[in-house]
Homo-oligomer: A and B are copies of this chain.
């Protein structure tokens, strides 16, 4: 059947196909525009590959079911948009604390609140990082192209499984609904990672860091495999049982954070265009970055020394990349985004005053246009 390996996929569709290619066999969700197609496609596609789809009673339950399924051994995903993403936060926090691999997709729409359900936004960038109580680093990936949705969904699963952590795929309505060509890798070309399992028969400490590379990620048994272990959202020790002792709890909280922060360089993906010699840098992500790219190309064509940094990994934040580029002399950094300056704020933090940061912002559903970016560049020139 698969003669041609190029397909027209909608962003949401590419996400489902990528997930299935990555080994996702469980999806629990609750419909919400503009992510709904992901649930709908999962309801069709998962049973075809022996997997399970369930539409739960709400987003909280969906996130809970995803955690349960993952602990029972399946690669699991959920998808939502702003209001549902807000509701999932408590159980995403559980997944982080209990170190449960899973992928959460948020196809962003205009907020706050119900906002504009069918219009694009990028207003959940900070929420993705900070939406939960307590400290927890989290990996957030953000595709801008439909083929990137496909590959990044696979990447999201790989990271989730390798680091035993929830990973957020932060899309926006434009990318989710857009249809583009995706050239599917041959099955053998796909790199698929699976969670590390404990050695059968050994005494299993589900939260005890081990030795060597990735030793900070303990192996994860599946329920039913005979290990009879305990999982809790209470601060716990290496054995998984609750502790009231700061000296037992602190290393645990620090480890789940540093699992991610210590891998910043490895986790951070970005696309750079003309950054070597740029004296104005444009930093953007998601669909806004496509407008930014057009603008940068157009400006380069007329000799403006402008460069583009398109962030693919949003969190952990690629401080080192921004600092490397800013080590050259930058006149200004321009940050186009469909929110009131969330990315710009982080960029400023990393720049430590090395260049002024100028935002290009839209918040009520209109995609940023290349002309908006060009105007901003011309103003600082």
Interface positions of A (Cβ within 8 A of B): 60, 81-83, 85-87, 89-90, 93-94, 96-98, 108, 110-117, 119, 121, 123-124, 126-127, 129-136, 232-235, 244-250, 252-254, 256-257, 339-340, 342, 345, 348-349, 351-354, 362-366
Of B113, B133, B244, B340, the contact of A116 (CB 8 Å cutoff): B244
CB pair B365–A112 under 8 Å, yes or no, is no
Min C-beta distance of A287 to chain B, whole Å: 15
CB pair A136–B112 under 8 Å, yes or no, is yes
CA distance A257 to B339 in the complex (A): 11
- The chain B residue sitting closest to A254, CB to CB, is B363
Chain B residues, Cβ within 8 Å of A340: 135, 253-254, 257
A113-B233, A233-B115 known; A250 and B364 CB under 8 Å? yes
Chain B residues, Cβ within 8 Å of A85: 133
CB pair B362–A246 under 8 Å, yes or no, is yes
CA distance A83 to B94 in the complex (A): 10
* Beyond A112-B133, A245-B364, A253-B340, 8 extra complex contacts between A and B, CB < 8 Å: A93-B111, A94-B114, A97-B112, A111-B135, A123-B135, A124-B134, A249-B365, A352-B353
A130-B130, A131-B131, A133-B83 known; A116 and B234 CB under 8 Å? yes
Chain B residues, Cβ within 8 Å of A131: 86, 89, 127, 130-132
Chain B residues, Cβ within 8 Å of A254: 340, 363
Chain B residues, Cβ within 8 Å of A119: 244, 246
Chain B residues, Cβ within 8 Å of A352: 348, 351-353
Min C-beta distance of A222 to chain B, whole Å: 21
Min C-beta distance of A240 to chain B, whole Å: 13
- The chain B residue sitting closest to A85, CB to CB, is B133
User: Can you sample 15 A-B contacts with CB below 8 Å?
Assistant: A85-B133, A86-B89, A87-B89, A112-B133, A112-B134, A112-B256, A113-B234, A115-B233, A115-B235, A119-B246, A123-B133, A127-B130, A135-B340, A249-B363, A352-B353
Chain B residues, Cβ within 8 Å of A233: 112-115
- The chain B residue sitting closest to A232, CB to CB, is B114
Chain B residues, Cβ within 8 Å of A249: 110, 116, 363-365
CA distance A136 to B235 in the complex (A): 31
Min C-beta distance of A132 to chain B, whole Å: 6
- The chain B residue sitting closest to A131, CB to CB, is B131
The 6 closest A-B pairs by CB, nearest first: A111-B134, A352-B353, A82-B133, A113-B233, A112-B134, A249-B364
CA distance A112 to B97 in the complex (A): 6
CB pair A133–B114 under 8 Å, yes or no, is no
A113-B233, A365-B246 known; A130 and B133 CB under 8 Å? no
- The chain B residue sitting closest to A88, CB to CB, is B86
CA distance A363 to B247 in the complex (A): 10
CB pair A115–B134 under 8 Å, yes or no, is yes
Chain B residues, Cβ within 8 Å of A250: 362-364, 366
Chain B residues, Cβ within 8 Å of A108: 133
Chain B residues, Cβ within 8 Å of A348: 349, 352
CA distance A351 to B351 in the complex (A): 10
Chain B residues, Cβ within 8 Å of A124: 133-134
CA distance A96 to B111 in the complex (A): 11
CA distance A353 to B354 in the complex (A): 8
CB pair B244–A365 under 8 Å, yes or no, is yes
Chain B residues, Cβ within 8 Å of A349: 345, 348-349
